Amino acid sequence: MDAATDATASQFELNEDQRAIQEMTAGFAAERVAPYALDWDRERHFPANVIRETGPLGFGGIYIGEDVGGSGLGRLDAVLIFEALAAACPAFSSFISIHNMATWMIDRFGDEAQRQRFLPKLTSLEWIASYCLTEPGAGSDAAALKTRATRTGGNGSDYIVNGAKQFISGAGESDVYVAMVRTGEDGPKGVSTLVIPKDAPGLSFGASENKMGWHMQPTRQVIFDDCKVPAENLLSGEGEGFKIAMAGLDGGRLNIAACSLGGAQSALDKALAYAGERQAFGKSIDQFQALQFKLADMETELSASRMLLYAAASKLDRKAHDAGKWSAMAKRFVTDTCFDVANEALQVHGGYGYLHDYGVEKIVRDLRVHQILEGTNEIMRVIIARSLIGR
C-alpha cells in the first residue's frame, strides 16, 4: 500500500531539472515580459525583440533535435515553460507555442536537407515560424481546405499556390509559413505540407484583425496569388499533409492548455492579493466565507487542471496509445476551466477587475480564444467520444 502511494505521488512530482526549467522561465518572464505586457496589449505592439531573446534560452526549439540547435526536451518540459511564460502574458506564451509547433513539423517530417536548411535559424529564433491550416471556409472541417498547390516548372521543380489562410498568428511578421495545401483529391488524402518563406513571390498578407484578445501578436490572412514555392520545400511527400497537421495538434493542444493554466494562475494570484487588501464592512473581503469558498474552488480547479495536463503531457512523451485522447481531454478541460477561473478572478475585483491597469480583464480576453483554437472544444469532445465508442 505504501509503495503504491509513493509511486502515485512521484508520478506528479517534478524532478530537479524540471524545477530548474520552471524557475529559469519564470525569472525571464518576470523580468522581460510581465512589466511590459499591458503596454503591448494596449498598443497592439508585437515585441519581436523580446521573442527573439527567448532563442538563447532554448525556447525556439523546445522539443526539437539538438543536432539543429533544439533543446531536445520533452512535452512535459514544454508544458512547464509555456505555463510559466503565460503567468506573465498568455498571448506571448501562445505565440512561442505556435512557433514551436510549426518548427516541430519540419523537424519531425522534413528530410535531412530540409532540417539543416530551416531549423538552425528557427531554433535560434533568428527566424519565426507560423502554422497555416485554417481557411475562410475551412475551420473545424480542416480536410475541406481549398488552397491549391500545382506542380509547374521544369520537371515539376516548383509549386504554384493559390488561396488564402485565415486567423494566422504572426502573419506578416513571421519568416516561415508551414502551410497545408491541396495537391490532390478532395478530403484528407489530397492535402500536403509546404514550407513557404516570407519572400516567396506571390505571398501577401491581409489587414491585421481587430481581435478581442491576443493584442500583442498580429493575426492576418496569408494570401497566395500564384505564389511560387520550390518543390524541395514539400514535407514528407504529397498526400501526407493532413497527417502532419493532426500530429502537430496533439502537442499544440497541450501547449495552449498550459498557456491557459499559467494565465489563470496569475489571475488567481491577483485575486488573492486584492481580496487581502480590499476593505468592506470593516474587514478585508477575504474574511467573508462566500469569497473564501470562491477562492477555494478556483484553487481546486487549477490543481485539477494541472494534474490532468501534466498526465497528458507524460503520455505524449511516452507515446502512449491513448495520448491523443488525453491531449483532447486536457485541452477541453483546462481551457474551459481556466477561463472560468480567470472570469471569477475578475469578479473578485469588482469594478476594478474591469479596468485594464489591474491586468485581470486582459487575461480573460486572452484566454477566451484558447477554447477555440488548436481544435474547438466541441471538436475535442468529438475526439474523446470517438475513442470511447471505438473502444
What are the residue numbers of the active site?
374
Among the listed residues 326, 273, 268, the one whose alpha carbon sits nearest the alpha carbon of residue 79: 326
Backbone angles phi, psi at 239, to 5 degrees: 85, 0
CB-based contact 335:302 (threshold 8 Å) = no
The C-alpha cell that represents 244 in the structure block: 502532419
31: which DSSP letter? I
Tell me if residue 307 falls in helix, strand or coil.
helix
Amino acid residing at 283: K
Q: Could you say which DSSP state residue 140 is in?
A: S
DSSP calls for 251-290: HHHHHHHHHHHHHHHHHHHHHHHHHHH-EETTEEGGGSHH
Could you tell me the three cell numbers for 273?
492579493
Which amino acid makes up residue 226?
A: D
What 3-state class would DSSP assign to 207? coil
CB–CB of 55/100 below 8 Å?
no
In the block, cell 501562445 appears at 94
Cα–Cα separations (whole angstroms), residue 207 to 134, 166, 167, 168: 17, 11, 11, 11
CA 4 to chain centroid, in Å, comes to: 35
298 and 270 in contact (C-beta within 8 Å)?
no
CA dist., res. 45 & res. 47, Å (int): 6
Contact 313, 76 (CB under 8 A): yes
